[in-house]
């Protein structure tokens, strides 16, 4: 599995969202790599990890990342959040969580109203089989819809999409299944590390209220809402996101020193 390491300082593991790869975090790399060592993961079936033998399951993927990275804070966007939450619940190697547009459950359910219908991900799975390229472009449009910088964000995501080759169709289907079926809400009260929950107020995939609810269920959690942000706020609001992540990481360093 491909993990790119760059920068210097305390370690930060970064996990991308569905269909993309670690390169999507370029705006954060530009703003954080002078102070932190960044470990940019390409999830199985994505980017340079397209042909890896590691399965795109929570257990296998997390075990592979833990084996290749030092103790670190994990930053995760969208689908990547499921892996980060699982890792934090399973290993003391995770020192903290920074969740961007990610929740423990991505679909509506009992006691979890602020999410999309399960049929959304099922429909994307059906569409992928009939129109691979068109479906990916429609998903990217949904990623940016609502953001005050939607046009620029969509242009960036389209440029990034195939920058490391096409994601594997089987991995995309498996990722949609994870988004549709995973429910990690029971891990929240048991978290033993601090967490930061960064939400875009205009996010149409992961509503801000869902992230606020997740933060309220976790100990030592901070919730931050970005007023004009959509589902990928680290693109259109990179300075704000990097600043909040830096502040969070600095607070952890101060706690360690104390």
Catalytic annotation, residues = 78, 203, 231
Strand partners, 100: 77, 198
Residue 67's SS3 state is: helix
With tokens 């005050």, the residue in question is 148
Contact residues for 232 (Cβ-Cβ < 8 A; gap 6+): 17, 24, 77, 101, 143, 144, 147, 153, 157, 200
Q: Is the dihedral of CA 232, 238, 243, 245 positive or negative?
A: positive
Token pair belonging to 196: 């930061």
Token pair belonging to 256: 């360690």
With tokens 């875009």, the residue in question is 200
Q: How far is residue 72 CA from its own chain's centroid?
A: 16
Residue 43's SS3 state is: coil
Q: Are 235 and 20 in contact (CB under 8 A)?
A: no
Contact residues for 92 (Cβ-Cβ < 8 A; gap 6+): 71, 192
Token pair belonging to 89: 């619940």
């Amino acid at each position: 599995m491909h993990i790119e390491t760059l920068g210097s300082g305390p370690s930060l593991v970064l996990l991308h969202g569905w269909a993309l790869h670690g390169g999507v975090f370029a705006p954060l790399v530009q703003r954080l790599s002078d102070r932190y060592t960044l470990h940019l993961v390409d999830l199985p079936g994505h980017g340079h990890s397209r042909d890896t033998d590691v399965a795109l399951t929570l257990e296998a993927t997390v075990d592979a990342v833990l084996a290749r990275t030092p103790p670190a804070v994990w930053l995760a966007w969208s689908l990547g959040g499921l892996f980060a939450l699982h890792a934090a619940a399973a290993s003391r190697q995770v020192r903290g969580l920074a969740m961007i547009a990610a929740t423990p459950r991505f679909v509506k359910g009992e006691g979890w109203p602020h999410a999309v219908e399960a049929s959304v991900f099922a429909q994307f799975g059906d569409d992928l089989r009939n129109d691979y390229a068109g479906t990916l472009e429609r998903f990217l449009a949904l990623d940016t819809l609502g953001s005050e910088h939607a046009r620029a964000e969509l242009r960036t995501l389209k440029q990034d999409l195939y920058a490391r080759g096409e994601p594997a169709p089987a991995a995309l289907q498996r990722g949609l299944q994870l988004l549709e079926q995973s429910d990690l809400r029971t891990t929240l009260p048991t978290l033993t590390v601090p967490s930061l929950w960064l939400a875009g107020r205009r996010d149409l995939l992961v509503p801000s209220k869902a992230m606020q609810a997740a933060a309220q269920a976790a100990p030592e959690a901070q919730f931050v809402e970005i007023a004009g942000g959509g589902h990928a706020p680290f693109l259109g609001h990179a300075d704000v996101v990097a600043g909040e992540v830096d502040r969070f990481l600095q607070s952890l360093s101060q706690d360690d020193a104390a």
